[in-house]
Structure formats: C-alpha cells, structure tokens
Structure 1
Amino acid sequence: MKKLLFLLVFTVTPIVLFADIKIGALFSVSGPASFLGLPEKNTLEMEVEKINKSGGINGEKIKLYIYDTKGNDAETRKKFLRLVNKDKVIAVIGPTRSGSTLAIKDLAKKFHIPVISCASSDKIINPLYKEVFKVAPSDGHAVEKIYEYLINKGLKNIAILTAQNGFGYSGREALIRLAKKMGLNIVADEKFKDTDKDMKSQLSKIAEKNPDAIICWGVGPAPAIIAKNFKELGLKSLLIMSHGVASKKFIELAGDAANGIIFPAGRLIVADQLDDTDKFKKLLLSYKSEYENTFHSPVSTFGGHAYDAIHILVKVLRNNGKDANSIIKGIESIKNHLGTYGEFNFSENDHNGLSKDAFIMVKIEKGNWKLIK
C-alpha cells in the first residue's frame, strides 16, 4: 500500500507543478487579410516553440490555441468565445484586423480576459478597457509621420482615399483631425470598399482637385488596385500609402505600380539599412534571419506584432503571475521594452506604449524597400 501511494504521488505531482499555460490567438490566416495573419501565426508558433524548448515559463510549457478568423468579425467573436469557454485560455493574442478586434472588445471586458491585439486602430484603446492592449502603433502615429514628411517637402494640399472598414474609418478620422492640427488642407475625401475592383472613378474625382499628395488608407488587395489605377491614369501627385501595405505581398500585387510609393512602416523591413548604432538593429536582424530561414518567405512587420505580443506577455507571466489582474497590471508596468516596432512604455492610461517614433518612412524602389533618411 505504501509503495502504491508513493507511485501515485510520484506520478501526479509533476502534472500539478507543471501544468500548461494556455494562451489563445486569433489571426486572419485565410481570406483577404491572410498576408497579415499568416506571418503572425508563423511567428507565434516559432517563438513559443523556442520558449518551450528553453524551459517554458517558470518550468511550465505554453499550450497554444490558434484559430483562423478568416478576417470576419462574426467568426472572430465565435472563436473568442470558444477560447474563453472551451479552451480556458488566460490571455488572447490578436486579432489581426482592427474591425475584428473592435468586435471582441466588449467580450474581453465581459469575461475579463487580457487581449493583446495586433491591429492598429486608435479605437481599440480609446475608449480604454483595462483588458485590451495593442502592439501595433496607432493610426494617429502613422498620420503624424506622413504629415511631417509632407510639411518638410512643402506639400500642404492633400486628398484622402480610405477603406470602408475599421482600419479605414480610424485612419480617416486621424487624417482629418491631424490635418487641422498640423495645417494641411484636405481638398478631396473619397472612400472605397475592400471588394472594389477598380477605383479610377474616385481617383479621377481626386485629380480634379490637383492635390500635392494622395494618401490611401487600407490593407489587402484594394490598395494594390489603387496603385495600378493611379499609374494607368497618369496622375502626377505623390502617392502615399498607410502602414497597411508593409508587406511584400503588396509589391507582388501592385507590380511595377508599387515603385515610387511612400509609406510609414516599422524598421523591420529595412533592418539591414539601419545604422549599426541603432538600438533595434540586432533584434530585428535576428528575428528576420530566423523567420526567413524557417519559413523561406520574406519577413513581415505584421509578423513582428505577434513577436512583440508574445514576448511582452511572457515577460509579464514570468514576473507577475497568471491571473487576469496580474497580467493587466504587469503589462501596464512595462517600460523600455524593445520590440520589433519600437520601444514600449505602457501605463494605466496608455495601452499601446508606442509613439510616432515607432515609424520610419519608406519608399518602394525596383520592387524593394528603401529607407528614407
């Protein structure tokens, strides 16, 4: 009997001491935003495998539950509820898209589940819910960077062309608000849908106003179509895209029409062009090399969002605990954390932790990225 009790204790104890840490993830792995979500999924799996091989978190391994939202808001809500009710995760990384994040914001609050979104809309953290964070820089930061660039070039009359989705709505609001603040004139304001196959009508209306620059705000195939339409119409304005095109997929879709386009982006896509004194260069080159060697495809700034999210979460889990309140307080206390998109300094009132300095300006030349210094 004593021997049997000993064996029972011996076999049960390790399970109790080393239970899995369940973390959920919601990414647009398929659908129009797959070029954003797939690098996020790949990165998260790659980083978690490394973390587990090195001993996990205080001896406990991470168990991932990753679901494809297909970029659909209703599907995102459904999968979030599954993560909470069936999988019993302690935190969620993602979603990929702004609209999808906004679709679960109320659920994160209701179930008191920390969410670290990979999307950029300012509305994700404004109004602020204590459970909801994001690691992608805010649209306002990107707009500030674009407007500073235009002002330095002496360009003040702009046209905006924005997507009719969560990302586009948030970007349009920031473009209008900051134009007034920074002294730029919006001479045309047009919109498009993700499913539109031709935007010559909107571009022709914009051309009548003769703007110095046209700023397109969207993700997926639509901005690539706009780039082609812009070239076909022979427009002479400067074409600027949002950070939503910071993927080789955009260049592949736009072809030669991508050349000459300017946009704000994270440092990752031009990591090898950074000065050796840049404090982010070593981290970025390491991640870039590992990702490209593992998946045999170009690194993406969107995958970098998943990298930042998991390393922020792991830091908190190691130092603060696994219950929701500890995770929330832990993230809010993170300072001077270097990630792929910048230096994170969170607080109770700032659930993004980044500034406009997270962005640099990039130009597409000969089908590749070039850092604008």
Structure 2
Amino acid sequence: MKKVLVFLLLLASASAFAGTIKLGALFSVTGPAGYLGLPEKQTVEMLADQINAAGGINGDKIELVFYDTQGDENRTLSYFKRLAAKDKVVAVLGPTRTGSTLVIKDLAEKFRLPLISCATSQQIVTPVNKYVFKTAQSDTLVVEKLFEHLVKIGKKKIAIITEQSGYGTTGRDALLEVAPKYGVNIAVEEKFRDTDKDMTSQLAKIKAAGVDAVICWGVGPAPAIIARNAKALGMGNIYMTQGAASAKFIELAGDAADGIKLTAGRIIVAEQLPEGDRYKKVLMDYKKNFESRFNAPVSAFGGHAYDAFHIFKTAYEKSKGDLSRLPAEIEKVKGFIGIAGEFNMSPTDHTGLTKDAFVIVEIKNGKFILAE
C-alpha cells in the first residue's frame, strides 16, 4: 500500500511540472492572401507536433489556438482581443499581412502579449514596441537589394506600381525614400487594388514613359495579373518582391512569369545553393519535412512562420516559465539561422535581419532560378 501511495505521489508531482503552452496564431488562410497564410498555418502545426512528440518545451506541451483572419483587419482586431482576453495565450504568431499587423500593434503592448508577425513592413517594428517583433524581411531591405541590383546593371529610370494595401503603401514609401540614396529616378508611379482584374491602363502609361525597369509591389493574385498584362503589352524588365515568391504566383501567371526577377528568401532556391552554404541544411530539412507532410511546395511565407515559431521557442526556453521575461528573451536571440536569414535581435532591432537575407531570383521555364 505504501509503495502504491509513493508511486501516486511521484506521479502527481511529475504532473505538476508538466503544463500546456497556449500559443496563439493568426494567419490569413482564406481570402486574397490565402496562399500566403495557409503554409504559415501548416508550418506552425507541423512544428508544434514535432516539438510535442519530442517532449514539448521545458516539458510543456504546445496547444495552438488558431483563427483565420481572412486578411481582414477588423477580424484580426477581434481575434487578437479574443486570444488575449479569453484564450489567455502566452504569445501570438502572425498575422500574415502588414495592415492586419499594424491594427493590433498597440494592443500587443496594452495586453503585454508578445506578437511575432510574419508581415513585411518596417513600420511594424518602427518605432520599437517592447512586445512586437517580426520575421519577414523589411520592405526597406527589399528596396535596398532591388536598387543595388538595378544600379549595378545600369537601370536607374524606374517605374513603380504598388498595391493599395498596408503592404503596398509601406513598400511605396520605402521605394520613394530610398531611391535618392542609390541615384534612382522614380519616373512613373501607378497603383492597383488587390481585387483588380486588369491593370492594362496603368501598364500602358508606364510603357509609354520608356523606363528601364518596372517594380511591382503586391501580393495575392493581382501581381500575376500584372505579369500577364505586361506580357500582352510586350513589356520586359519586370521586377517583383517576395510577395510573388511562391509556386502559386507562377501557376497564376503562367508563361507570363518567365523572365520576371524578384527579391526572395533562399528557401525557393535551396537546392541551388552551393554545398557548404551555411543556410542550406536548415532550408533543405524544412523543405523536406513540409513537402512530405503536406504534398505541396514549400514557400517563403511558411518560412516566416517557421522563424517566428523557433524564435518564440528559444525565448520560452530561456524564460523558464516566467512569461514576463518573454519580450526581453526575444530581444536576446542572436545568431539564429532561420529560413529568412540570420536573426540578431536587439532592444532596438525587432527584426534582426539585413539585406543579405535576400537573393535575386529569376523565373525561367516556370522555375525559380538563383540569379544573384
């Protein structure tokens, strides 16, 4: 009887140290940005399953609490409040889109709830908010990488066509702000909505201006439409951002995608990296695990969620159960080799990446090819 009692006491004691980590996730799985948010959700689910199967984090198992924002800012606002006040999560991964992140940025501080966004805009982390971080490469870094490439090949008269969204607006601002630094002339500026079905009129104006190159800044189906419209007009030298860095873009654009160049993370050309490249093993392991589980091509967007999850995991491990330490521990993440690049967070830098997180990729015969 005593042995049984001792066993039960030991079992109860062990259970007391095993807990549940309620981790929030906000991704746009449906709606215009659905092909961005779906791999993000899938990635976080995959990683949570892997960690739980290995015993959890510090012995605690992860319980994901997920809501589909549909890319809608009002839904994001409502769901974030629910995660904070009702679900009592310890942190939130996502959202997918810039606008959705910006509407909850102040709430993260109000609820003292760490938020690790998968969106791009530098405005998400500028000015620094103690509780807000992001893993996608910043739009200012995108612009610097694009202009560096264009100037090197002698293209300085540029047209821009940007989406009327949070992502497009902050991208436009970055393009205009950084251009003088590189001696780039933004000769023409056009806009489009992510629901537009034809952009021929804007592109015709750009073609008439005789620019050296066109930069399209958008996500979702619209950039693919721009690619098809540009091909119909006989236009070349089209550049895009990582918003088009997915197999879905090529599928939607068809043969009009060929010849387009874009900034992208290394994940979409992981196999083409030389042996010994310091990112290759992480990228290839993620690619293998994701594609074998979901029977779908890996993308940079899922990579943003991979990085957000692992940065949270690292900080949670270091906090040793003291949730008030989470933001400070995220700021201390150094030398983390993720999907987007090497992360070196700090109290003044809540992204921790440089423009070296990007490569220049060209689409040839329906495939992403490492160009630079």
TM bracket, shorter-chain basis: over 0.9
Distance 1:187 1:246 in 2: 26
Structural mapping, 1:4-23, within 5 Å:
12-23=12-23
1:51 aligned partner, one-letter code = I
Larger deviation, residues 82-91 vs 346-355: 82-91
Runs of 4 or more off by more than 6 Å in structure 1?
Answer: 1-8
Distance 1:79 1:15 in 2: 31
Could you report, residue by residue, the CA deviation over 1:280-304 in whole angstroms, capped at 9, with x for unpaired residues? 0011011101111110010011001
- C-alpha deviation, 1:242, in angstroms: 1.1
Could you report, residue by residue, the CA deviation over 1:191-232 in whole angstroms, capped at 9, with x for unpaired residues? 101111110111111112111000000000000000000011
Structural mapping, 1:58-77, within 5 Å:
58-77=58-77
Alignment match, 2:276: 277
Residues 278, 11 of structure 1: alpha-carbon distance in 2 compared, 3 angstrom cutoff: closer
In the alignment, structure 1 residue 159 sits paired with structure 2 residue 162: no
- C-alpha deviation, 1:67, in angstroms: 0.9
Distance 1:345 1:52 in 2: 27
Alignment match, 1:30: 30
The two structures have a TM-score, normalised by structure 2, of 0.97
2:102 aligned partner, one-letter code = L
Distance 1:145 1:293 in 2: 32
Give the match's secondary structure for 2:104: helix
Distance 2:253 2:146 in 1: 21
Alignment match, 1:268: 267
Alignment match, 1:230: 230
- C-alpha deviation, 1:16, in angstroms: 2.7
Structure 1 runs not aligned, ≥5 long: none
Distance 2:208 2:157 in 1: 13
Structural mapping, 1:1-373, within 5 Å:
12-236=12-236, 238-373=237-372
1:141 aligned partner, one-letter code = L
Give the match's secondary structure for 1:81: helix
Could you report, residue by residue, the CA deviation over 1:330-371 in whole angstroms, capped at 9, with x for unpaired residues? 111111110011000000000000000000000000001000
Could you report, residue by residue, the CA deviation over 1:12-65 in whole angstroms, capped at 9, with x for unpaired residues? 544431110111000001111110000001110111111111111111111111
1:122 aligned partner, one-letter code = Q
- C-alpha deviation, 1:66, in angstroms: 1.1
- C-alpha deviation, 1:89, in angstroms: 0.5
2:271 aligned partner, one-letter code = D
Distance 1:72 1:277 in 2: 42
- C-alpha deviation, 1:73, in angstroms: 0.5
Distance 1:100 1:335 in 2: 27
Structure 2 runs not aligned, ≥5 long: none
- C-alpha deviation, 1:321, in angstroms: 3.1
2:280 aligned partner, one-letter code = K
2:266 aligned partner, one-letter code = R
Give the match's secondary structure for 2:103: helix
Distance 1:75 1:321 in 2: 33
Residues 277, 6 of structure 1: alpha-carbon distance in 2 compared, 3 angstrom cutoff: closer
Give the match's secondary structure for 2:214: strand
CA contact under 8 A between 2:58 and 2:320: conserved in structure 1? no
- C-alpha deviation, 1:320, in angstroms: 2.1
2:127 aligned partner, one-letter code = P
CA contact under 8 A between 2:260 and 2:362: conserved in structure 1? yes
Larger deviation, residues 315-324 vs 330-339: 315-324
Could you report, residue by residue, the CA deviation over 1:58-98 in whole angstroms, capped at 9, with x for unpaired residues? 11111111111111000011111111111110100000111
Distance 2:269 2:64 in 1: 30
CA contact under 8 A between 1:32 and 1:220: conserved in structure 2? yes
Distance 2:297 2:4 in 1: 56
The two structures have a TM-score, normalised by structure 1, of 0.96
Residues 85, 4 of structure 1: alpha-carbon distance in 2 compared, 3 angstrom cutoff: farther
Distance 1:251 1:185 in 2: 29
CA contact under 8 A between 2:157 and 2:212: conserved in structure 1? yes
2:315 aligned partner, one-letter code = V
2:368 aligned partner, one-letter code = W
Distance 1:202 1:354 in 2: 34
CA contact under 8 A between 1:92 and 1:115: conserved in structure 2? yes
Identity %: 54
Give the match's secondary structure for 2:259: coil
Give the match's secondary structure for 2:71: coil
RMSD: 1.7
Give the match's secondary structure for 1:294: helix
- C-alpha deviation, 1:181, in angstroms: 1.3
- C-alpha deviation, 1:323, in angstroms: 4.0
Could you report, residue by residue, the CA deviation over 1:82-128 in whole angstroms, capped at 9, with x for unpaired residues? 11111110100000111100011111011010000000111100121
Could you report, residue by residue, the CA deviation over 1:245-304 in whole angstroms, capped at 9, with x for unpaired residues? 111000010001000000000000000000112100011011101111110010011001
